[in-house]
Structure 1
Amino acid sequence: MFSYVGLGVDLLLILLLISKKGKSLADRILLIWLIIIGCQLLLYALSLQTITIHNIHWLLGTSIPFPLLHGPMLYLYTAATTHMLPRRRYLLLFHFLPALIGILLFTPVFLLSANEKMAFIAQPANEYKTANFIRIVLLQVSGFVYVLWCLFLLRRHTTNIRQEFSYEEKINLNWLRYFIYGLAAVWIIIVCTRNDYYIFQTVVLFIVFLGYFGIRQVGIFTTARQAHHNMVIENHWQPAIAVEKGIGEDVDTSANTNAPQIQQEDDATERLPRKKYANSGVTAEMAMEIHKRLVYCMGTEKLFTEPDLSLYMLSQKIKVHPNYLSQVINEKEGKTFFEYINALRIEEFKRLVALPESKKFTIISLAYDCGFNSKSSFNKNFRKVTGLSPSDYLQSIGLEKDPDAAL
């Protein structure tokens, strides 16, 4: 009965995905994956019926390749969601070799007559014990490798968004991490119990989780990266920055008295690996010019108060290639783009909260004015930058402790 419920949920999710407008590559991969899971659930439901001479032809062994498909589909979905699929797409076919091996190992069984298949079920031939052992090993290795691989991709994704975005809401993919853990739980049950009843009970719950979060997934980097790729060519950004006219020339940074100042560690640059930018075209003079533009722009226009600020948006403003700007922030500030912008926001909050006219505002409203998207993001970044919670900091300077109350 539970398997039929899972089939119903799976079919509903398939219909929802088919009807979804503007499907991404990740959506299409998810659709194929849901179809594969639906087929496996259907075969399991049919296998619960009495096996007779009439249905033995297409029941025996047909489910063998399906468990070996979930690891590759998990990888494809994770890589597509994080935009980390390899450029040579034909290499993706190698991920399906274990499933093909599973089919080849049991091809002689598929070719048996109905009576021979009935005898095989009653007393499996000894020569297939080795084939079954290989299939189980492939399944266990597949589950272990793909779970670790996908967690590694998520780790890289987190690093990437901190280099390109000033916020994490809706793009941190924490839900996908829990999703991978869920599939890992299914594999653990497969390895430990080998009991179809418990396995498919877990699979049904997994389907609900997969569909709910998968269909709601947000396109990652869609705006920023697509805009970045649509730039004409890299030299459009005029690498010889020193000759450009505009913000960067003759900037009087001394007049920038209201710019939030971030305390820099003497060894900030040394903490960052220089090898990362060994082949960069940014000279020392260019880096100084870019940094001067950056500081001036942040001090005068306070772009860090824009909640959805990205590296690409900022690079357009100061007329420099995003890669160069990222390098300068990493080397000159000793921070990622995410850390740099949020540190500026914290400093701006500390400046605002000390003003007498800010007493009529709540702490959270001031945090929003500084560019934070949520209370949790503000609290997390405030503690990371200052070593104190917002409440403790307010108490230390003699202000109201309740962050939801006016000062």
Structure 2
Amino acid sequence: MVSMVDFDLGILYWAGVFIAFFSSFLIFGKQKKKMQDFLLAIWFLIIGIHLVFFVLFRSDGYLQYSYLIGYELLLPFMHGPMLYLYILSVTGVNPDKKAWLFNWLPVLLICLILSPFLILSPQDRIVVYQNNGKGYEVLSNMLKVLMNFSGVLYVSLSLLAVKKYKQKITDQFSNTEKINLNWSYYLITGIAVIWIAVIIKNDILIFSMVVLFILVAAYFGISRVGILNLSHDTERADKKGAGNELVKYYNNSPGGDMMQAIYEKLIKQMTQEKLYKDPDLNLNYVAKLLDVHPNILSKTINSMENKNFYDYINRQRVEEFKRIASLPENQKYTILSLAFESGFNSKTSFNRNFKKYMNCSPREFLKSQNLNLE
């Protein structure tokens, strides 16, 4: 007899199946789809199929669909690769055929490992299933270890991909507030929590969390603001041309004399034009002004200033704020208005960078200078 709790959970799981499939079809129906859209849609389909297997097998459905027994063991190994490939895509590294093959190779290996069980007749598989894998204990334990390893590996790889992306954006942009990485962190955290439940070995907890995950992931995955794709920006900059030095120096590390010359040109531009006052300033734009390749300019700043582009520009914005805040004619303005005048695009960014370079808040600094700005 089916209990009320089982009945309620059944509705929950079937709702998760519907959301997964419906979200996948919505994404496939989007216009101007990107690689990340295809990956998310495919992943939602896999999650939906996984939930269907669970709903069928938690009751006596495996008796009716005995020919499916064993194939559900492949599905957990698909989520890690899909997470990682999706994170790569939204951070500007569109996976190629080699990446697909390399990350799906473990799934193929699991197929080979499972083959002795999958070649059994459906009736024999039912017997093994009903006896909790008796006779296949070694195979079962091996799959559990590999499943847990897969979860830890792909969560770690995904976090590493986001970390690398954060480094790229600080090498290219002077303001990063509009580049929202929260979606990636939410996704990785959700999968990590589910994998913890897998390690705990509680199926009800696992698949209840999967339904919650698919609900949240579907909402944010379809409606979220896209993460900036650095590769597209770089391609546009390269097509516009970075001068003759692109051809001459692209594959070579710039020498000391060349770096010094570029650095002097950079200082001149910053001093005369105050480029840092542009809140949307980026490396490609500055490189074009100086007629150098962005990679060479980045190396120059790293070498001469021991800073990335983000830190270099925001340090100058802090110095500009200190300068204009001390002018008598500016005492009528607010702290935030002068911060915006210096090139910052938000109060949060201003306060964070000011404290980073000055080891005190803007108000503490102004007070030490006997300046009374609101």
Same-fold call, TM cutoff 0.5 = yes
Task: Indicate yes or no: 2:66 matched with 1:66.
Answer: no
1:202-238 per-position Cα deviation (integer Å, ceiling 9, x unaligned): 1122223333343323232155212134356874647
Partner of 1:21: 31
- 2:213 aligned residue (203, 206, 214): 206
Partner of 2:5: none
| Aligned CA distance change for structure 1 residues 86 and 110 (closer, same or farther; 3 Å) | closer
Task: Indicate yes or no: 2:130 matched with 1:122.
Answer: yes
Partner of 1:94: 102
Partner of 1:106: 114
Q: Distance in 1 between matches of 2:241 and 2:192?
A: 43
> TM-score, normalized by length of structure 1?
0.81
Deviation at residue 354 of structure 1 after TM alignment: 1.6
Q: Which moved more, 1:230-239 or 1:155-164?
A: 230-239
Preserved CA contact (<8 Å) 2:269 2:275: yes
Task: Indicate yes or no: 2:358 matched with 1:386.
Answer: yes
Q: Distance in 1 between matches of 2:45 and 2:243?
A: 42
| Aligned CA distance change for structure 1 residues 127 and 52 (closer, same or farther; 3 Å) | closer
Q: Distance in 1 between matches of 2:54 and 2:74?
A: 13
**Residue type at the aligned position of 2:28:** I
1:284-323 to structure 2, matched below 5 A, reads 284-323=256-295
1:304-334 per-position Cα deviation (integer Å, ceiling 9, x unaligned): 1111111001111121111221121111122
- 2:304 aligned residue (312, 328, 332): 332
Identity of aligned residues (%): 36
Q: Which moved more, 1:222-231 or 1:143-152?
A: 222-231
Deviation at residue 146 of structure 1 after TM alignment: 1.3
Q: Distance in 1 between matches of 2:291 and 2:62?
A: 73
Task: Indicate yes or no: 2:199 matched with 1:191.
Answer: yes
Q: Distance in 1 between matches of 2:361 and 2:16?
A: 45
1:6-405 to structure 2, matched below 5 A, reads 6-51=16-61, 53-58=63-68, 60-84=69-93, 89-124=97-132, 126-171=134-179, 173-192=181-200, 194-215=201-222, 216=224, 217-221=226-230, 223-230=232-239, 235=244, 237=246, 280-400=252-372
| Aligned CA distance change for structure 1 residues 359 and 134 (closer, same or farther; 3 Å) | same
| Aligned CA distance change for structure 1 residues 234 and 126 (closer, same or farther; 3 Å) | farther
Q: Distance in 2 between matches of 1:365 and 1:319?
A: 33
Preserved CA contact (<8 Å) 1:171 1:220: no
Preserved CA contact (<8 Å) 1:68 1:99: yes
Runs of 5+ consecutive residues of structure 2 not aligned to the other structure: 1-10
Larger helix proportion, structure 1 or 2?
Answer: 2
Instruction: Give the match's secondary structure for 1:13.
Output: helix
Aligned residues: 362
| Aligned CA distance change for structure 1 residues 139 and 12 (closer, same or farther; 3 Å) | same
Q: Distance in 2 between matches of 1:122 and 1:284?
A: 72
Instruction: Give the match's secondary structure for 2:61.
Output: coil
Preserved CA contact (<8 Å) 1:9 1:207: yes
1:120-168 per-position Cα deviation (integer Å, ceiling 9, x unaligned): 3332453311111111111011111111122222222122111111111
Preserved CA contact (<8 Å) 1:238 1:320: no
Runs of 5+ consecutive residues of structure 1 not aligned to the other structure: 241-276, 401-405
Q: Distance in 2 between matches of 1:220 and 1:213?
A: 18
Preserved CA contact (<8 Å) 1:306 1:371: yes
> TM-score, normalized by length of structure 2?
0.88
Preserved CA contact (<8 Å) 2:262 2:297: yes
| Aligned CA distance change for structure 1 residues 232 and 297 (closer, same or farther; 3 Å) | closer
Preserved CA contact (<8 Å) 1:26 1:81: yes
